[in-house]
Amino acid sequence: MRSSARTTLAAIALVAVLFAAPQFYRSEYVLALGVSFATFAVLSGALNLVYGYTGLLSFAQVGFFGLGAYAAALLVTERDWSTWAAVAAGGVLAAAAGLAIGYSSLRLSRHAFAIVTLSFALLCMIVARDWVTLTRGAMGIPGLPVPVLGLPGGASWRLAKPLDFYYLLIGYAVLAHAVIYLVVSSRIGRAMRAIKLNEELAQSQGLDPLAHKLLAVTLSAFLTGVAGGWFVFYLTIVDPSVFDFYYTETMLIMVILGGPGSFWGVLASCAVLTVVPDLLRFTTDLRMVLYGFVLIIAMLVLPGGLGGWLERRRLARWRKAATRSRT
Amino acid sequence: MDPTFVLQLVVNGIVIGVIYALIAMGLSLIFGVLEIVNFAHGEFYMLGAMAAYFATTDLGLGYWSTVALVTVGATCVGVVVFEALLGSVRRESFERSILLTLGLSMVLQNGAVFLFTTTPKMVQGSYTYTNIGFAGMQVSVLRLFALGLGLAAFAALYAILYRTQVGRAMRGVSQSRDAAVMVGIDPRAVSRLAVAIGIGMSGLAGAALAPVYAVHPLMGFSFVFKAFAIIIIGGLGNVSGAAIAALALGVLESLIGGFLPQVFVDGLAFGAMILVLLVRPQGLFGRGVRV
């Protein structure tokens, strides 16, 4: 069987398992873990698109997440928008912010991009806390209404139970990953990887680095912003803690351990890192201390992450096979 | 508008600006010499303040011995951080250095939260309630001490950079590492010193501000965000640019805070940074460790 056909089959099997799982084992706890996995899968997948494939270390993802969350919540509560429109608007707003900070900082350097994205994320949190007339400050906006999604053919889906959110977020995560997969396996994705490896060489081949970088940042911001919108309706409250640095650190660890630029590696590490720390029941502070150590050790010992390590082993196997066939 | 009030705001702004400068100059120095953006820089400011709190409260040390002890301690920590973590990072692997220092920052910050909780601590010392009256204003003597310490640290840094052989070596490495190696400068020794000085200045800033503001584990986090904006505005790697931008930001924030809502104070550093990036991406004063 060809490897692409195998990948397709594996992906279909994975999606089928995720959708069928609640039919067999339906506890609130497992559903909550599933929602958390789906949300972080989108966050880490979107970060992987920017950092793993395009080589831009973005700290702004949590800003996009919270921006989408606040926009969706405010549009529904203050402006009576439909949930679909509000969540989409949150994604568009996040994408616009991504485009703006990408354009202003990428002209200078990758250093500037990292610094500006970090400042953006922190600014979002501070503004959410201090712009009380819009965001109601640290109190946040509690009691978001139960979203009712209009479906084609006049039907509607009331998201009243955790199970509904499980299906919604898993469905969105699958859709987002399909988009990411299509992009990274296309011509555009190859161009992004070329730019990451050697920008000058890519440019000399007629690729436009800035356009590809901006596309990666904007698409990633959109996917993340929409995830933020869905996630706050699950939480039923939005407050400045959606901008918490905890999200940034967690999704970074997922991408680093999974291997930047490795689609399946990041998905796998996301699954492991959602389930394992929860079973161990650490407090968040202690978990972040451990993540910090993991990050330091990964950077010192295993810079390519799990995916990078597997890739190196695969290359070594090929080399060995090549030398054997030559002799 | 009351002129005394404005003057008071300006004086407070200068004090906070000098402390911003201490942190941002260290950050800029480390970037200039090692091309590493030290994400853990704010945590050393926090640790300096924490250490000052424990030295004053538990050991009963006086103000000046606390400041001296913390500064020396932070400088030694800088040497350790360089030897253990930063020394092995090559200049090309920029993302690696960021993630490494980010990991360090997570360990230090969340470790501090875990050990000391997020409850703010107040440092009570002999000077806590001493004020000096001056042109109709009341200025806390501790703010003046912080100002004096900051200015003394500037003077010391400039003396090192411009009057000593090792300072020339430091500027040389930041201008061209290869050329510096060719004339016999050891970039490792110079980098070690730059990190030690940078972190030492952060610790000093923490010790100097600990008695003025409350001490808590997340204080470094919000501070370093401004320091990043400052080094972009001043020009990455430009130490004097960082000092000027820091002072300007401190005064402007203080003035805006006196008349406008808090959200404008918070947005100022970020807005100024974006504006500088759009209009003059190399920073107001250009690149390089130079005046």
Check B232 against A288: CB less than 8 A apart: no
Sign of the alpha-carbon torsion through B276, B281, B284, B290: positive
Q: Is B140 helix (H, G, I), strand (E, B) or coil?
A: strand
Residues 6+ apart with CB under 8 A from B16: B250, B253, B254
Test A296 with B113 for CB contact under 8 angstroms.
no
Residue A261 lies in a domain: yes
- The Cα–Cα gap between A197 and A315 comes to 17
Residue A156 vs residues A171, B112, B215: alpha-carbon distances, Å: 16, 49, 52
Exposed, middle or buried, A103 (CB in 10 Å: 0-12/13-18/19+)?
middle
Whether A138 and chain B come into contact, CB under 8 Å, resolves to no
Would you say residue A189 lies in a domain? yes
Can you tell me the ipTM of this complex? Answer: 0.78
Put simply, the chain B residues between 37 and 76 with a CB less than 8 A from any chain A CB are 37, 39
Range 146-165 of A in CB contact (< 8 A) with B: none
> Is the Cβ of B266 closer than 8 Å to some Cβ of chain A?
yes
Contact between B281 and A115 using a beta-carbon 8 Å cutoff: no
Q: How confident is the model at residue B62 (pLDDT cuts 50, 70, 90)?
A: confident
Pick from B95, B102, B225: CB nearest A119: B225
Q: Which residue of B lies nearest to A108 if distances are taken between CA atoms?
A: B281
| Position A264 in a domain | yes
Tell me the pLDDT tens digit for each residue of A215-261. 999 999 999 999 999 999 888 888 888 888 888 888 888 888 888 88
Q: What is the CATH number of the domain that holds A304?
A: 1.10.3470
| Residues of chain B found within 8 Å of residue A296, distances taken between Cβ atoms | 85, 100, 103-104, 107
- 3-state secondary structure (DSSP) of residue B207: helix
Number of folded domains in chain A? Answer: 1
- Considering the entire predicted model, what is its pTM? 0.82
% residues pLDDT > 90 (chain B): 13
Token reading at B147? 């100002």
Contacting A residues, span 208-267, partner chain B, CB-CB under 8 Å: 245, 249, 252, 256
Length of chain B: 291
Range of the domain at A197: 16-326
pLDDT number for residue B136? 67
Bridge partners, B138 (sequence order) = B133
Q: Is A292 on the interface with B (CB under 8 A)?
A: yes
pLDDT in tens, A94-132: 999 999 999 888 877 777 788 888 888 888 888 888 887
Q: Is residue A188 part of a domain?
A: yes
At A23-33, the pLDDT tens digits run 777 787 888 88
Task: Give the confidence band of B286 by pLDDT, cuts at 50, 70, 90.
Answer: low
Decide if A125 is inside a domain: yes
| Contact flag B110-A122 (C-beta cutoff 8 Å) | no
A267 and A41 Cβ atoms separated by less than 8 Å: yes
Amino acid found at A137: G
Does A282 reside within a domain? yes
With CA atoms as reference, the chain B residue closest to A119 would be B225
Mean pLDDT of B54-68: 84
Q: How far apart are CA A69 and CA A85, in angstroms?
A: 13
Asked, for residue A297, whether it belongs to a domain, the answer is yes
Q: Please say if the pLDDT value at position B244 is more than 70.
A: yes
Mean pLDDT of B196-219: 87
- pLDDT at position B140: 78
Mean pLDDT for the stretch of residues A259-279: 83
Give the H or E element holding residue B117. Answer: none
Which residue bears the tokens 């010193």? B193
A288–B110 C-beta distance less than 8 A: yes
A108 touches chain B (CB under 8 A): yes
The string of pLDDT tens digits covering residues A152-182 is: 777 777 777 888 888 889 989 999 999 999 9
Q: Smallest CA–CA separation between A323 and chain B, in Å?
A: 31
**What per-residue confidence (pLDDT) applies to B290?**
39
- pLDDT over 50 at B124, yes or no: yes
Nearest Cα residue in chain B from A52: B95
* Residue of chain A nearest B95, judged by CA positions: A57
Tens digit of each residue's pLDDT (9 = 90 or more) over A64-94: 999 999 999 888 888 888 888 888 999 999 9
Decide if B95 touches A, using CB distance below 8 A. yes
Which of B:97-136 have CB within 8 Å of A?
A: 98-100, 102-111, 113-114
> Which residue has 């995830």 as its token pair?
A227
User: Is residue A111 included in any domain, yes or no?
Assistant: yes
Verify whether the Cβ–Cβ distance B103 to A112 is below 8 Å. no
Per DSSP, the three-state class of B121 is strand
B123-144: average pLDDT: 73
